[in-house]
Amino acid sequence: MPFLRRRKHTDVSDSHIDNNENDDDIQEKSKRNRREERLRKWSCVDICCWFVGCICSIWWLLLFLLNAMPASFPQYVTEAITGPMPDPPGLKLQKEGLRAKHPVVFVPGIVTGGLELWEGHHCAEGLFRKRLWGGTFGELYKRPLCWAEHMSLDNETGLDRPGIRVRPVSGLVAADYFAPGYFVWAVLIANLARIGYEEKTMYMAAYDWRLSFQNTEVRDQSLSRIKSNIELMVTTNGGKKVVVIPHSMGVLYFLHFMKWVEAPTPMGGGGGSDWCAKHIKAVMNIGGPFLGVPKAVSGLFSTEARDIAVARAFAPGFLDKDLFGLQTLQHLMRMTRTWDSTMSMIPKGGDTIWGDLDWSPEGGYMCSAKKLKNNDTAGQNLNQSLSKSKGVNYGRMISFGKDVAEAHSSEVERMDFRGAVKGNNLANRTNCDVWTEYHEMGIGGMKAVADYKIYTTGSILDLLHFVAPKLMARGGAHFSHGIAENLDDPKYRHYKYWSNPLETKLPNAPDMEIYSMYGVGIPTERAYVYKLNTYSECHIPFQIDASADGGSEESCLKGGVFSVDGDETVPVLSAGFMCAKGWRGKTRFNPSGIRTYIREYDHAPPANLLEGRGTQSGAHVDIMGNFALIEDVIRVAAGATGEDLYGDRVYSDIFKWSERIDLQL
């Protein structure tokens, strides 16, 4: 019996062990299943989180190393790879014995000046005096709709919206850097400091670049501040006149200022007709859109430029989707159409300057000319390129269809859009998340715009009045885009004409000098091929047709955009015409014979990544770091004249193109 009991006990024990082993197997299988399930989940969420985490960790490690390494290490590495770097212009000219002489005034352009919040709505809590524009743009990512609301102006007045006050940042920091690591004026300021300039001899004429030029005075007294600061700098520097350096739209802003400061109060500054002669030595305009830019037209018409069209080509429909509750282009259009300053850059001079259906000053321009310059077979290729480029007519600023852009005017049937009825059979616009003025046009109005087929500069204003009536109603009170027949007509004393060089006279200051300094050698937007997109009434109906292409490397048409020579933003014609012809010598636009000079900078991209944005760049903003340009500026600030710089330096066909323009001088 004891034996039987032991055997029974043993059997029970073995059974218990087997059960335990089975339980362990089940638990192991369960763990394995859970592990496999977790791995399956990793494919959608965890892998993304780990990827972002790795990127952030690498970024912070690189940032730590950058701050930990000696300041001279990057230069040491660069010189070890590329050889010794040339001295910065400031150091070079300091060794030559140049010293600070004339006070310097910087006038920033559109978008490059910082804006900060002084009063806002509840969604902007905690942002008092934080930058909404410039800097890190952190609030754009955190609260995009709130940011767009506070960056917009009132759609009726063009001034502040109720409960919102956004104001320009003051001081040199207003526009030294646009964003961390992306310089605007910083390199020029640093080089001027090398020869002795400091805060008391440099002044950043910051202003709210969203406002119309006259409204910067109405709201902020910005023009009065510029006048007072220039007078103070002249007084405190022994009577030495200032050298003014405007950039981009700042060129038009300062042109407006020179008329404002002479004009009697209350419309003007009351400085008298000799104020500029007493206070300004030279105006050195960098990348000046004197006659406007085609880019402004595409921006107002469809919130596009070449880069947006390219993005659409790579990801069709992406920018039009309601991404995270933010319809990007619609919000951008609604915001930017409240910025009256954009009206200042609509092309001026109409068909006389920019060309008509069958003619343009740049006709025959060869987009491949720079490539063929050193080619042994250049003769044959040159003729082929010339024959192809003759078909390009830049006078057609907007064409609906590639075939329309290339056809002879006699072959194009057009239907006038001006009498079209708006609001015909449009779906209920309350279904649209973001309202734009296109929602009031209706399908009939949209089709009428496309049926007109070709828009020259002469009809662009009518087009914008049709598609953006509120913007044009405000802008028409502040800007004009024509050519004056008689500059002595009293109507031209109004401020709406002051920023148009074709409708105003330069100051009576024969000893003053005016420079036009800009980059060349970069394809620059000049005309567009559009298409009508009616797949949804809630979207912007007109788009650059990125599929329109010239079909060869030499073609000037790529991605729906016709290119011409320029600095990537401003065509040569706009930047150079006034100094090449309109103001050259004594003309009705320059009755005192102010000396004008053209200084072009042939674009050369950086040789490698270590060179950053390059020291020979001709691009619209990067040119601010161009060593040749900086040297020219420093020499003039130190007392040199245009003759000391050997007069004009020209690489483009600006003089030939200017002569083709039949303008009464």
For residues 584 and 377, give the distance between their C-alpha atoms in angstroms, rounded to a whole number. 38
Q: Which amino acid appears at position 467 of this protein?
A: V
Backbone phi and psi for residue 265, each to the nearest 5 degrees, phi listed first: -70, 160
Q: Which one is catalytic: 567, 622, 632, 653? A: 567
Residue with tokens 């057609």: 396
For residues 610 and 634, give the distance between their C-alpha atoms in angstroms, rounded to a whole number. 26
SS (H, E, C) 138-168: HHHHHCHHHHHHHHCCCCCCCCCCCCCEEEE
Q: Which one is catalytic: 620, 648, 653, 658? A: 620
Using DSSP's 3-state secondary structure scheme, residue 52 falls into helix
Residue 464: closest CA among 483, 484, 441, 497: 441
List, in sequence order, every residue forming a beta bridge with 326; answer none if it has no partner: 323
Integer CA distances (angstroms), 377 to 374, 383, 556, in order: 9, 11, 21
Which residues, at least 6 apart from 500, have a Cβ–Cβ distance to it below 8 Å? 348, 479, 480, 481, 482
Compute CA 181 distance to the chain's CA centroid, rounded to the nearest angstrom. Answer: 18
Report the largest interatomic distance among the alpha carbons of the chain, rounded to a whole angstrom.
136
Does the annotation mark 567 as catalytic?
yes
The answer to whether 564 and 394 are in contact (CB under 8 A) is yes
For residues 651 and 174, give the distance between their C-alpha atoms in angstroms, rounded to a whole number. 33
Q: Which amino acid appears at position 127 of this protein?
A: L
Which residues, at least 6 apart from 548, have a Cβ–Cβ distance to it below 8 Å? 401, 402, 405, 529, 557, 559, 560
Cis peptide bond upstream of 144, omega within 30:
no
Listed in sequence order, the DSSP H helices in 205-354 are 213-220, 222-236, 249-262, 275-279, 294-302, 306-314, 328-336, 350-354
Q: How many CA atoms lie within 13 A of 46 on its CB side?
A: 7
For residues 95 and 45, give the distance between their C-alpha atoms in angstroms, rounded to a whole number. 60
What single string gives the DSSP state of each residue in 459-519? Answer: HHHHHHHHH-HHHHHHHTTT---S--S-TTSGGGGSGGGTT-TTSSPPPS-TT-EEEEEEE
How far from each other are the two terminal CA atoms of the chain, in whole angstroms? Answer: 134
Strands (E), 39-164: 104-107, 115-119, 131-133
DSSP β-ladder status, 131-133 and 115-119: antiparallel
For residues 147 and 134, give the distance between their C-alpha atoms in angstroms, rounded to a whole number. 13
Per residue in 363-387, is it b (16+ CB within 10 Å) or e — as a string?
A: bebbbbbeebeeeeeeeebbeebee
List, in sequence order, every residue forming a beta bridge with 599; answer none if it has no partner: 517, 649
The answer to whether 261 and 119 are in contact (CB under 8 A) is no
Q: Which one is catalytic: 152, 212, 222, 248? A: 248
Q: How many CA atoms lie within 13 A of 498 on its CB side?
A: 23
Residue 516: closest CA among 655, 396, 312: 655
Burial class (CB in 10 A: 0-12, 13-18, 19+), 32: exposed
**Which residues are annotated as catalytic?**
248, 567, 620
